[in-house]
Copies of this chain bind each other. A is one copy, B any other.
Amino acid sequence: MNPLVDLDSAARVAQQIGDYSGTFAFAVSGAVLGVRANYDIVGIAVLACATAVGGGIIRDLIIGNVPPTAFVDMRYVAIALAAALLIFLWRPRIRLATRALDITDAAGLGIFAVTGTVTAHAAGLGAPSAAFLGVVTAVGGGVIRDVLAGEHPSVLRHDKEIYALPALFGAAITATALELGYYTALVGLLAAAGAFTLRILALRYGWRAPRPRRPPEASNPA
């Protein structure tokens, strides 16, 4: 079963390129986190793979596309391993690594929000469900990465800039365009770029979502 079968040919190629790019970006983010956490080469490779293919595997299990693409097309794992090796050899400095992690994570987030939504819609889900699954695909790899590495997931942290909202932005544009029949590879590219830009601007200018005002005793939590 190929969930991409009802996309036109150009859109399929764009979708494939997008999926490979997102895989590479997320793999780099996982590998960089592994270097920062002082993992060995195997730990770095495992974290790179889990981050890169984790979101897509969740997406494929949910739409019933089994075995998931990452287990059929070994290029995804190969891309993730290449990214891990690259980062292992490069050994970035902490400050640079943090910036590289932020940028590649934002790229993976934007790309997978779009390709996840497209895959879900092609599998027959309605627009709201497809957008929801696009967001799950986009944030899933990063959540797996953070949970495995013992870090608090970025998608939840109150001291962090907005993370799920840029993914929702890209997924919602994509789902709307698909529903209205206006989706093209260019629309997908723009939606991914929009989500990426939103995330990077949020990091740059410290955009955060509102928090509940805490009642008095909250300043001294148990």
Q: Which of A's residues lie within 8 Å of B, judged by CB?
A: 34-44, 46-47, 57, 61-64, 66-68, 71-72, 74, 77, 88-89, 91-95, 98, 123, 125-126, 128-129, 132-133, 139, 143, 147-150, 152-153, 155-158, 162-165, 208-215, 217-218, 221-222
What are 15 A-B residue pairs whose CB atoms fall within 8 Å in the complex? A34-B156, A38-B214, A39-B158, A40-B208, A40-B210, A41-B209, A42-B209, A43-B157, A61-B62, A62-B67, A72-B125, A89-B212, A93-B218, A98-B222, A148-B156
- Compute how far the CA of A43 lies from the CA of B95 in the bound complex, rounded to whole angstroms: 26
A74 touches B132 (CB 8 A): yes
* Distance in angstroms between the alpha carbons of A129 and B75 in the assembled complex: 11
Residue on B nearest A96 in the bound complex, by CB: B215
By a CB distance below 8 angstroms, the chain B residues around A62 are: 57, 61, 66-68, 71
A63 & B66 in contact (Cβ 8 Å cutoff): yes
Sorted nearest first, the 6 A-B pairs with minimum C-beta distance are: A64-B66, A40-B209, A43-B156, A91-B212, A42-B209, A40-B211
Alpha-carbon distance A163/B45, docked complex (angstroms): 13
Tell me the nearest residue of chain B to A220, going by C-beta: B94
Choice from B132, B153, B208 contacting A148 with Cβ under 8 Å: B153
A214 contact set on B, CB distance < 8 A:
38, 91
Residue of B nearest to A164 (CB): B42
Could you list 15 further interchain pairs (A-B, Cβ under 8 angstroms) beyond the known A91-B214, A98-B222?
Answer: A39-B158, A40-B209, A41-B209, A42-B155, A42-B165, A43-B209, A67-B123, A71-B129, A72-B125, A89-B212, A91-B213, A93-B217, A93-B218, A94-B221, A150-B152
**Inter-chain contacts of A163 with B (CB < 8 A):** 42
Q: Which residues of B contact A74 (CB under 8 A)?
A: 126, 128-129, 132
Q: How far is the CB of A51 from chain B (nearest CB, A)?
A: 12
Contact B147 A156 (CB under 8 A): no
- Report the minimal beta-carbon distance from A211 to chain B, rounded to whole angstroms: 5
A38 CB contacts on chain B under 8 angstroms: 158, 211, 214, 218, 221
